[in-house]
Amino acid sequence: MKFDSICMVGLGYIGLPTAVVFALRGVKVIGLDVNASAVDKINRGETHIVEPGLEDALRRTVDAGHLRATTTPEPADAFLIAVPTPFCNGHEPDLTYVEAAARSIAPVLKKGDLVVLESTSPVGATEQMAGWLAEERADLSFPQTAGEEADIRIAHCPERILPGHALRELVSNDRVIGGMTAGCASRARALYKLAVEGDCIETDCRTAEMAKLTENSFRDVNIAFANELSLICDRLDINVWELIRLANRHPRVNILQPGPGVGGHCIAVDPWFIVSQAPEEARIIRAAREINDGKPEWVLAKVHQAVAEHAATSDRPARIACFGLAFKPNIDDLRESPALNIARRLTDLYPGQVDVVEPFVKELPEHMQGKANLLRASDALSSSDIVVLLVDHDDFKAMPSPTGKRIIDTRGVWTGRPV
């Protein structure tokens, strides 16, 4: 069975590039999102997110009539759901957006359709989604009751792209495709092979869900090792950056780089999904999350110390310049960003004393407006006493190391002995 049309549910950092990649292959793509403003921009060929090459590709697909966006569900042959999966009540997974997406598309489903959950989710979420669809459409059969004879195919295919390289990696990266049945996986694989040049490996939906959580937990644990090393080296008066550089000369050692914490919707969130479902067994994963979640407190303590040192030698309040808000370099994505968390906390603690440099945003987040200033790098440096580098944007790496300032360099970009 051919896929004459695809509905991309959720047009954010994953959904919009995915929609564009399929549309570039000539597939008719309907983008569905609750954000009317974003929908209007997309239909004008404009993006509401920063991703290299995306706006040009979007404009071409819109002009060719291969992609359009809407706020109202429409029939399609396949539905790909890429909506947020945050946590709530501490670190419990919140599938509210997935449920809302499933129930919204249920009325337009027809026999033979495929529904794929792309959102990173706790194990069992795909089956829950199938249950919500079945509640809405008692006239259709689903894999949990009808197996291979089901009217609707259900699968899970987690995204695994690097922001800033989305268009390339959506095509080149391998994909793990987990079906509720073998037939579901096969049908989903046929869909992804329309656009994906990497391998598409079929498995069951629970293994596919756990694969994505495992990938991000692996990275989180390794970042936690680097962050813990930075704390130890600070205590022992050792340059952690030099230490890692030397240790990595061992042929079987590859220590990552420390930073102010871990952000983004994936690495900072996904390990908690495993912890929530296996709290007694996930001891290393929990410890890594606690180390990385605690790193911003260490950075804040360094700033407080610098403020106290300034106060001992000056009769005016210290001006603090924070460089970077995004969760990683060269993007505008602020989700779960430790840099944003640190800057926000500083604006609350030192109102009127904080300037922010973030070349990838046009205005400060609402909760910082009126408390801090968004400035160019040169203006922030000229008036600052304390400089806190939080994100290693290329623009910042190209700058000479500031002089005559107290520098707290969490990324090892500017100083000979960064903290």
Residues 171, 273 within the same domain: no
pLDDT at residue 419, rounded to an integer: 45
Q: Give residues with Cβ within 8 angstroms of 377, minimum separation 6.
A: 323, 357, 359, 395, 396, 399
pLDDT at 172 over 70: yes
**Sign (positive/negative) of CA torsion 234, 237, 242, 243?**
negative
Report the alpha-carbon distance of residue 104 to residue 121 in Å, rounded.
19
- Pure H helices in 45-181: 54-63, 96-105, 125-136, 143-146, 166-172
The residue count for the chain: 419
Could you say which of 178, 198, 218 is where a domain stops? 198
Quick check: is 171 in a domain?
yes
The parent domain of residue 44 ranges over 5-198
Task: Let me know the angle formed at the C-alpha of 84 by 82 and 90, rounded to the nearest 5 degrees.
Answer: 150
Stretch 35-58: mean pLDDT, rounded?
96
Condensed to tens digits (0 to 9), the pLDDT of residues 299-334 reads 999 999 999 999 999 999 999 999 999 999 998 889
Condensed to tens digits (0 to 9), the pLDDT of residues 113-149 reads 999 999 999 999 999 999 999 999 999 999 999 999 9
Residues 404, 280 within the same domain: yes
Stretch 212-222: mean pLDDT, rounded?
97
Quick check: is 135 in a domain?
yes
Please give the structure tokens belonging to residue 103. Answer: 């129930």
- For the chain, the domain total comes to 2
pLDDT at residue 416, rounded to an integer: 52
Q: What is the CATH number of the domain that holds 72?
A: 3.40.50.720
Which are the catalytic amino acids?
212, 266
CA distances in angstroms from 108 to 68, 105, 143, 341, listed in the order given: 17, 6, 18, 41
Per the confidence metrics, is the pTM higher than 0.75? yes
pLDDT at 27 over 80: yes
**Picking from 120-129, 246-255, 370-379, 408-417, which range would have the lowest pLDDT averaged per residue?**
408-417
Report the alpha-carbon distance of residue 85 to residue 95 in Å, rounded.
6
Stretch 82-92: mean pLDDT, rounded?
87
Residues 40, 128 within the same domain: yes
Quick check: is 229 in a domain?
no
Q: Where are the beta strands (DSSP E) in 33-159?
A: 67-70, 78-81, 87-88, 92-93, 114-117, 153-156
Stretch 208-235: mean pLDDT, rounded?
97
Band of residue 266 on the pLDDT scale cut at 50, 70, 90: confident
